[in-house]
Amino acid sequence: MSLRLGDDAPNFQAQTTVGDIDFYEYTKDSWVVLYSHPSDYTPVCTTELGRTAQLKQEFEARNVKVLALSVDSVEDHHEWIKDINETQQTTVEFPIIADKDRKIAELYDMIHPNASATATVRSVFVIGPDRKVKLTLTYPASTGRNFQEILRVIDSLQLTAEYSVATPADWKHGEDVIVVPAIKTEDIPAKFPKGHKEIKPYLRTTPQPNI
């Protein structure tokens, strides 16, 4: 059964390139990006893992721990990392999970038989500190992920978890946000002292409240 938004992210134990981990213990009190790769030594995955390593400070600034997964062995992962570091001019330090028996891939529904019966699709899970699934994305094997979009979504998730706002289409950090419909217009000034605009009775915007 596939995981849906708001579901508990299942715990697991795994061998990784940084040693054996318990998922809950390793990610305690952090936001998490868990994402899968069809297999080692594949070109698109090489660029994705390299890009993740290049964005280390961006993830750390958001209190996000990143874990990648592939169905190959830890030994293969370590050899592959050498290629990633060389070709992408970076240093991979986050864990790559070895899932040779595909237990984690099946636990998170990362194998879609109509795409491949043996390899994971490009799944992305963003998981909150409460262990709840906040975002799911699934890409085909041919299409690399947009990590700026993943960071943008994390910014939105973290913002909207703290304030009664939503983020509009194409929103980026620093731009105006939408006041949720549950807030009455007359109550907006007390909650959002930076001011607001009423475009329609149901569409009210305010400057991003946490900057």
Full set of structural domains in the chain with CATH: 13-145 (3.40.30.10), 163-206 (3.30.1020.10)
101: helix, strand or coil: coil
Residues 164-184 pLDDT 10s = 999 999 999 999 999 999 999
Q: Considering the entire predicted model, what is its pTM?
A: 0.93
In terms of Cα–Cα distance, which of 100, 146, 98 is closest to 122? 146
How wide is the angle at C-alpha 45 spanned by C-alphas 133 and 25, nearest 5°?
40
Among 45, 67, 84, 159, the active-site one is 45
110 catalytically annotated: no
CA 137 to CA 122: how far, in whole Å?
8
CA 200 to CA 120: how far, in whole Å?
45
Q: Which residue has the tokens 């070895």?
A: 98
CA 63 to CA 78: how far, in whole Å?
25
Residues 92-120 pLDDT 10s = 999 999 999 889 988 998 876 555 645 66
